[in-house]
Chains A and B, each alone.
Chain A
Amino acid sequence: MARITIKEDSCKGCEMCVNACPKQLLRLNRDKINAKGYHPAMMTDQSACIGCKSCAIMCPDVCITVEK
C-alpha cells in the first residue's frame, strides 16, 4: 500500500516522473492546465503504486510526496 501526492501547481509537465515509474502508472493530465500553463502529471492507478519513490527522485521540481 503506497500513495503519492503531486503538487500540481509546481509541476512543469516534464514527464521525468512518467519515464521513471517502473509500473508506468503516471501520465500527463491532458484535461488539466495548471497556473503555470502545463499539463500536470497524474497518477492513473494509486492502488498499483509500490511506493518505490522513483518518480519523486527524478522530479526536478520536488512536487511529489510519497507515503508508504
Chain B
Amino acid sequence: MAEKVLMKGNEALGEAALRAGCRHFFGYPITPQTELSAYLSKKMPKCGGTFLQAESELAAINMVLGAGATGVRAMTSSSSPGISLKSEGISYIAGSDVPCVIINVQRGGPGLGSIQPSQADYWQATKATGHGDFQIFVLAPSTVQEMADFVALAFDTAEKYRVPAMILSDGMMGQMMEPVSFPEETEITQHDKSWAACGHNNARPHNIVNSLYIEAKDLEKTVIERYERYEKIKANEQRAESYMTEDAEVVIVAYGASSRVSRSAVDMARAEGIKAGLVRPITLWPFPVDAIEKTVANAKQFLAVEMSMGQMVDDVKLVVNGRKPVSFFGRTGGIIPTPAEVLGEIKKLAGKEA
C-alpha cells in the first residue's frame, strides 16, 4: 500500500475508478456527488479516457449502456433524484446483461428533497431500481477507504456475473475527508467479453446486445437463467462486518453513515455494561443473511438504524423471521442520528426481555 492521502469520498471514488481501469465516465451534475464528476473531468483527458457531461441522467445511463455493450468498464454517478431518472436505463442494462458501475451518493427525498445525507434509496437500490424482474449488486461503503476499495470490487463483480453494480453511498460519505491509501497496482481480472458488440471484424457471427424477447417463453427462460446467476451471487458475494456480536444481546444492523454512528453507540453501551453489537452489511444486495443469522441465537433484540423511515429493517425481519423482536430507529430528511440517540434506543431495548 502506498502512503495515505487525505481525500473526499467522492474524489476517492473517482481515483479508484481510474485505477480499476475505467476510462469511460458519463455523468450529469447533481449535489452531493459533484466532486466525483469534477475529479474525473480533470483526470480522464490526461489518460486518454472519456469524460462526457451528458444532457441528462437518461442520456448518461444510456451512454453507459452503449459503452458497456462494447465491453469496456463504464461508470456513471448521480444522487437520488438522478438515480430515479437512470432507473429506466438500469433496467435495460440488467436486461441486456451488460456490466457497469453506478454510484448513488444519496440525498434526502422524495422529490427534490434535500441535499443532506440520506439512506432513503435502500428500497430503490435493492428492490426496484427499475421495472421488471432483476437485481443489481449493491455495495455500501462506510469509510472513504471503502469508497476507494469498492470501485474495483464493483467492476469485478459486475463483469464476473454480467450485472450492473451500484455503490450506494450518501452525502456524508461523499463529502467527508479521511485518509485513504490506494494499492500500488489494482489487479484487474480479465473476464470473458465474447458477447460484446464492438464490431465482429468479419471473424464471428454478429453479436446482439438486447433486452427484447417477443416470445414470453424466451423471456422467461432468460430471466430464470439470470436468477440462477443471482443465486450464485447470493452464495458467493455476501459481505458484512460484525463488531462485538459474539455475546451481543442487542444487535444493531446498520450500514454506511448510520453504521458509524451505531458503532459509537455500541461502544458507549458496552461502557455501561450493555452487551450490544453491530452487524454492518457491506453488500446490501445480496443482503448478508449469513452474518445476521449467526447472531440470532444469542440476541435478545435487534435494532435497525437507518437514515430513512425504515427500509432495510424489512430485510432484517425477513432474516430473523419472528424468532426475536426487531425494532427500528431512524432519522430522515437529511438528518444524521447521533450516537446518544442510538444509545437511548439500545437502553430501552436492553431493559426489555426477549
Q: Touching in the complex, A and B, CB below 8 A?
A: no
